Chain A
């Protein structure tokens, strides 16, 4: 039977990996953003699990708020990637 502890392990694991990622990849902004996303996923899991355990919808509402920031984060990350690749190609062209 899967209980609360199993979900908490998943949540804690994701959060710890996210924090470690932030600490390791301080130089790269995009890697920090990706690490923040992973940590956010851990938080979302714990929110959902606790709200379902306590039969309370407040956790789901908080999850919605977190997910909105998550979407923005993802879009910004993707735009960063695009701009990075664009700049790299421009530099290559200038080099030619």
Chain B
């Protein structure tokens, strides 16, 4: 738990440095999402219910992106539908989806939170909770460490993937502009 907290704290501070230091707007926005991930995971580590609010926040954000692209697909000239913009949109949606998957995992494997959602008592849910994944993971790692490992994997893959790909896209943009000039 302490290791997870320290890791997330250092990552959050480091990513926020990168967010304010990046020259490109899009890359600094992606780093901001990474900072959000880290802070949300701090709450997640300590079973805080604020994770719900963060999920709602990301859903609103995702919906706004999806609506913008829907309008552009149906013919409203809001954003030019070129290859780079499409890539950017899919990457941002991927970040949001990774976050939602985290949330679902958290909901599935946390009896306390499930009791809030389904109005069942915690003890009954723990009895019901004998799913194959829990049986598989519970004996080896223990219930919470399995969840935390999954969260780390999802977050790190999402953060590295998105930021690295955005970096490459920005490079391509610059090279295209250089050729045009």
- Residues of A whose CB lies within 8 Å of any CB of B are 1-2, 6, 9-10, 13-14, 17-18, 20-21, 24-25, 28, 30-31, 34-35, 37-38, 41, 44-45, 48, 52, 60, 63-64, 67, 70-71, 74-75, 77-82, 84-86, 89, 92, 95-96
Contacts and interface: CB of A to CB of B under 8 A. Distances in A.
Contact of A14 (B12, B65, B79): B12
B166 to A, nearest CB: 12
20 contacts: A10-B12, A13-B9, A13-B13, A14-B39, A20-B20, A31-B25, A31-B28, A35-B19, A38-B35, A41-B36, A41-B39, A48-B43, A63-B50, A71-B60, A74-B57, A74-B61, A81-B25, A82-B79, A86-B80, A92-B180
B60 A75 contact: yes
Interface residues of B, number: 37
Interface of B: 1-2, 5, 9, 12-13, 16-17, 19-20, 25-26, 28-29, 32, 35-36, 39, 42-43, 48, 50, 53-54, 57, 60-61, 64-65, 68, 78-80, 82, 85, 177, 180
> Main SS of the interface on chain B?
helix
Given A45-B39, A48-B50, A81-B29, A17 B61 contact: no
Q: Main secondary structure on chain A at its contact with chain B?
A: helix
Contacts of A38: 16, 19-20, 32, 35
